[in-house]
Amino acid sequence: MLDNSTNKFQLGLVYLFAILAVIGIGPFIYFRYSQGEISHALLDLAIVSAAVSSAIYARWKGEVTPTILSFAAGFYTLGAIAVVHFNNPIFVFWMFPTILANFFLLRPTQAIFLNLFAIALVVPVAWKLERTLDTFAMMSSLFFVSIMAYLFARLTEGQRKRLEIFASQDPLTLLGNRRSMDLELTLCAEDFARYQIPATLIVFDIDKFKAINDKFGHSLGDKVLVDIGKLVSARLRKTDRAFRFGGEEFVLLVRNTKLEEAAIIAEKIREQILSQINGPKGKITASFGCAAIQPEETCEQWFVRADRAMYQAKEKGRNCVVLAAE
């Protein structure tokens, strides 16, 4: 499953290619047919039909799956190759938009292999150009366009991944931020509604953290936050997620875990913070609240119950774990 932003981009591309196919190739169907070139007209019709069908199917599904993208790229490529072979060598220029389109539809490595395969299949047609120099010029241009598009696609993909990390990660602790927390809580709520998979929120807040910042400066306060972030990351299971909610407040999402089991996890983390994290004037403590998701409960209601339990821990004297009422 593609992430939401990527899926919207790919969905837009599928729609765009369908529109371009209708506008750019559609008229050739009529012209070919009117000139008696039935096979050519049918080929153009197949390409347009594939583009439109992909867009309709993606619209019906509400998302773009890898299968749709692979089908579209493969069909467009085979169609371009067929167009080149059915016409005179000058039609090799149809390969240029196909090569570029593949890098939008597929991952860079997949696209480069598909493009090199396609270039190899049009070599026999390129040899029919009047001069050998023209043949080499045509094939070289196709090859260089594919390589440059590959490098650009790799660069773009790397930048997109970095932007996704920046958009979902707290820059100080490297834990998830509130945006990624909201997404994860929504997924857990959906799993609970459909399959009754339990999940528990553990919210904890560093005790008397404001005094550290006020007396010793934010640099020492940031060090405490970073140390706790590292401790939590090392303690999590593969299915768990950790977030910095804001300031000195942290949230742990423990999947497939009931309230009593989460309380044990919270207690162990509380003990680790007490024994392993040192502040400017000695030990650091934290107050914890735990809440398991309930039927018909929204993510916001779920979080509020865990947050209230954490404040109850503060009222009880801090450095303890409180379970929210079910």
Report the catalytic residues. Answer: 248
What are the phi and psi torsion angles at 65 (to 5°)?
Answer: -95, 160
DSSP tag of 242: E
Query: What does the alpha-carbon distance between residue 185 and residue 197 come to, in Å, rounded to a whole number?
Result: 13
241-246 and 249-255 beta bridge pairing: antiparallel
Distance from C-alpha of 73 to C-alpha of 29, rounded to nearest angstrom: 21
What number of residues does the chain have? 326
SS3 124: helix
Task: State how far the Cα of 267 lies from the Cα of 286, in Å rounded to an integer.
Answer: 10
Both tokens of residue 130? 């009047």
- Rounded Cα distance between 250 and 291, Å, is 14
Return the SS3 of 234: helix
Q: Is 202 helix (H, G, I), strand (E, B) or coil?
A: strand
Own/partner pairs for 181-185, CB < 8 Å, 24+ apart?
Answer: 181/241, 181/243, 181/245, 181/251, 181/253, 182/299, 184/241, 184/243, 184/253, 185/253, 185/299, 185/302, 185/303
169 and 158 Cβ atoms separated by less than 8 Å: no
Quick check: 141 and 149 in contact, CB under 8 A? Answer: no
Structure tokens at 35: 């000139």
